[in-house]
Amino acid sequence: MQRLSFETTGVPAPVRAVLSSTGAEPGTTGSSVTRMADAEVARAWLLAQPSPEEADKALLTSLRSSLGVEVTLDVAIRYPKSGGFLAQTVGASVLPGSDAASLPQAASRMRAALTGPTKEQAEDWLIMLQAACAGGRRSEVSATVALELYAGCLMRFPADVAKAACMRLALDPRPGGNWFPTLAELNAMCDALSSSRRLMAHALESA
């Protein structure tokens, strides 16, 4: 998939238009087809980004440069028992001086950036994750019910977050070995990767 540039405005103009006018969920009225098409464009843009973190930076740049809305993140440093440290986003706020008239459009754009993957995409990433992991849980995840549960979990999160979570769980060393993750582990990874974006969306909605 060709990567879309966001060097100047954070989000390319065609995608900005979609992110400005649609939310994360397709409609159920006569606008359903349009909304579904818009969701596909938003999903494609998310999946073209190098990482969820880079997508968040692009969105912040876009809000500031094209809408005059400045969102700041509150970051706390955590020191897990396993060692090292983690930078965790604990809050977000809209800075004074932001263009108040653009806040609804900014909120809509951020909602669209929460667009989840399709069921087929989620299942494909889970199959990839299964193939990359040791075989302890392989027979379990192959079951239809298990696959539905895991795919349903991924579909609750932004598409780029769901994909990145599967990739990182497949590639990054984890305590206890590279076994297929539990549903709780997968959910926790997605939750951590999407926390900044969800907090930004909440701040814009509240503003």
Instruction: Determine, yes or no, domain membership for 5.
Output: no
DSSP string of 94-127, one letter each residue: EPTTS-GGGHHHHHHHHHHTTPPPPHHHHHHHHH
What torsion do the CA atoms of 187, 190, 191, 195 make, to the nearest 10 degrees?
-170
Give yes or no: residues 72 and 153 share one domain. Answer: no
Instruction: Determine, yes or no, domain membership for 139.
Output: yes
According to the model, what pLDDT value does residue 17 have? 60
According to the model, what pLDDT value does residue 20 have? 55
Instruction: Dump pLDDT digits (tens) for 125-164.
Output: 999 998 888 764 555 555 677 889 999 999 999 999 999 9
According to the model, what pLDDT value does residue 87 have? 81
Give yes or no: residues 105 and 135 share one domain. Answer: no
According to the model, what pLDDT value does residue 141 have? 53
- Cα gap 82→122, rounded to integer Å: 30
Q: Domain of 155?
A: 119-189
Give yes or no: residues 124 and 97 share one domain. Answer: no
According to the model, what pLDDT value does residue 9 have? 43
**Residue 139 main-chain phi, psi, to 5 deg:** -65, -30
Contact predicate 46/159, CB 8 Å: yes
Ranges in the chain, pLDDT < 50? 1-9, 21-28, 136
